[in-house]
Amino acid sequence: MTRALILGGTADASQLAAEIARAGLDAIYSYGGRTRAPADQPLPTRIGGFGGADGLAGYIRREAITHVIDATHPFAAEMSRNAIEACASTATPLIALERAPWTKAPGDRWIEIADIEAAVAALPEAPANVFLAIGRQHIAPFAGKPQHVYTLRFVDPPEAPLPFAAKVIVSRGPFTFEAELDMMRKRDIGWIVARNSGGDGARAKIGAARTLGLPVIMISRPHLPDRHRVESVAEAMQWLRHRTCLGA
């Protein structure tokens, strides 16, 4: 009998949950608990960490999970590493549903770097208006370049004070190309810091930056151990159906 665990928190995970529910398969959707009002899912849902790889392995055993689909954000590397470890130790089939990264198009002015610290270093010394298109848990190192005026965009209003004074936009995506263009023009944005998340939902800002000729400091995805990975919900469903038919 199949009982899948979806590690979620992304639009792809929501689409997958809808497909699994439609197919009538037994599955649990797991949220990390970062967002205050996560979207409803058509599947039983749990929220919060498992307690590392061992905690996840315990959960897999307790809940008799037969398949794990890691549909977390490409930068949610800790969860993905834990999933690899826990699935290996419990011999549970694992697949990662991860959209392809964006690739540079003509007109893009990307500075591709490895991590947040390198992004801070890549910003100019002269004061600029900088759009930090990254999660709030990653912004602290930018306090090291206080000469810039930072614009941040969050899904929820910040609960705790930010590590530095910044302009905050509270809004949930996806954002259109026109809206991104308008936002960048109105705020006279000169630099953008983004992570190479891929997908359509966050792509508009990259297109707007290209149109405005703005430099984008693009943080590459974290390195993960090899795992079976697909890029579409259809492929993840195929994998699940195939493994289910085989009773794997």
Q: Which residues here bind ligand NAP, judged by CB under 6 A?
A: 7-10, 30-32, 34, 49-52, 55-56, 72-73, 75-79, 82, 135
Smallest distance from ligand NAP to CB 243, Å: 21
Closest to ligand NAP by CB, 7 or 123? 7
28: left (phi over 0), alpha (psi -120 to 50) or beta: beta
Q: C-beta of 31: minimal distance to ligand NAP in Å?
A: 6
In the complex, least distance from residue 147 CB atom to ligand NAP, rounded to whole angstroms: 26
Q: How far is the CB of 154 from ligand NAP (least distance, A)?
A: 11
Exposed, middle or buried by CB within 10 Å (0-12, 13-18, 19+), for 173? middle
Quick one: how many helices (H) and strands (E) in the chain?
7, 12
Nearer to ligand NAP, 55 or 127 (CB): 55
CB nearer ligand NAP, residue 38 or residue 207: 38
Of the pair 151, 190, the CB lying nearest ligand NAP is at 151
Q: In angstroms, what is the minimal distance from the CB of 126 to ligand NAP?
A: 29
Task: Give SS3 for 167.
Answer: strand
- How far apart (Å, rounded) are the C-alpha atoms in residues 36 and 21? 24
Sign of CA dihedral 62, 68, 70, 71: negative
- Least distance from C-beta 7 to ligand NAP, angstroms? 4
Q: Which residue, 49 or 146, has its beta carbon nearer to ligand NAP?
A: 49
Nearer to ligand NAP, 85 or 211 (CB): 85
Q: How far is CA 107 from CA 94, 162, 178, 200, in A?
A: 38, 34, 18, 19
3-class DSSP assignment, residue 96? strand
**Which structure tokens are listed for 135?**
């999660």
Residue nearest ligand NAP, Cβ-based: 49
Radius of gyration, CA atoms only, the chain: 20
